Amino acid sequence: MNRASFREYCGKNIASIKSSNSIILQRKKRSYFFIPWNRKSKKLFQKTHTVLYDATLKHDSYVEKTAKYLSCSPETEEVLKRSVDIAITVVAIFFLAILMLMIAMLIKLDSRGPIFFTQERLGRFRVPFKCIKFRTMVHNAEQNTGPVWASKYDCRVTRIGHILRKSRLDELPQLLNVLRGDMSIVGPRPIRQFFADQLVVHEPHYDLRFAVKPGITGWAQVKYKYAASIDDQLTKYSYDIFYITNRSLLFDFMIMAETFLIVFGLRGL
């Protein structure tokens, strides 16, 4: 699916989007652009959570705003975001190369199987790509079960895998996906088509989250727990819509700052 297809999709669904009973997010009326980064503003930012509301009660819904964004995303914004992604990725790979090598050695010593785990995920406009991560589960974890949601106490996760998932360090190889242009540093979490097709049944406008590239980290990732069910995924979808309709470079940097707190505080899964 490309931008033209999304524009056609949005044009056909504006009316249904306005009258949808889908649960979406409404941003609190606070500006992200002129907040000095100090203790008080950090506390304010952490409290800038979003409020669930029914789209039937709001004419100017955030899903509708996403539809407008899909049809007229500024090219200069895309170029600037891509430039920032490349710059951050190159610097990160340079400084984290030794850490990534150590993680690779620990994975190899901890369990049998490859160091990296690659899986097809959906990117922008639902275009599939090969997402690469450090392997955190036993080899061929879904051989007997098929695709299933990962849970907090998943018995398939290895010893080193628990640490990597909790610190989010298993996502580091996705820096290569950013360089290739499949992903961004900040964006919705890349999802498998198997699960995306399930979620569309429950949320007809779920595909709106594919308006932007998926990210290594994102608003949903830092503000909500690890999604282990359809209900969790639909809640994270609401956060994704909030990010898409309010995204800016400053918002991206603030999400990155939250991510560092999670990595060093081990507040992940």
Each domain of the chain, given as residue ranges in start order, spans: 72-265
- Please give the pLDDT value at position 268: 53
The whole-number average pLDDT for the span 227-244 is: 86
CA dist 220 and 199 (Å) reads 16
Q: For residue 35, is pLDDT > 50?
A: no
- Please give the pLDDT value at position 245: 80
Q: For residue 40, is pLDDT > 50?
A: no
- pLDDT, tens only, 121-155: 999 989 999 999 999 988 876 666 666 666 666 77
Confidence grade of residue 231 (pLDDT, cut at 50, 70, 90) = confident
Q: Which residue has the tokens 């849970």?
A: 151
- pLDDT, tens only, 194-214: 999 999 998 888 888 888 999
- pLDDT, tens only, 19-34: 333 333 333 333 333 3
Q: For residue 1, is pLDDT > 70?
A: no
- Please give the pLDDT value at position 24: 36
- Paired tokens of 226: 């690890």
Share of the chain above pLDDT 70, in %: 65
CA dist 223 and 163 (Å) reads 20
- Please give the pLDDT value at position 211: 85
Residue 102 or residue 204, greater confidence? 102
pTM over 0.75: no
Q: For residue 258, is pLDDT > 50?
A: yes
Q: Which residues pair with 23 in a beta bridge?
A: 54
- pLDDT, tens only, 77-89: 788 899 999 999 9
Concatenated DSSP letters for 104-155?
HHHHHHHSSS-SEEEEEEE-GGG-EEEEEEE--B-TTTTTTT-S----TT-T
- Please give the pLDDT value at position 87: 96
- Paired tokens of 66: 């996403």
Q: How far is CA 80 from CA 15, 115, 130, 245, 264, in A?
A: 33, 33, 24, 17, 28
Mean predicted lDDT score pLDDT of the chain: 75
- Please give the pLDDT value at position 15: 44
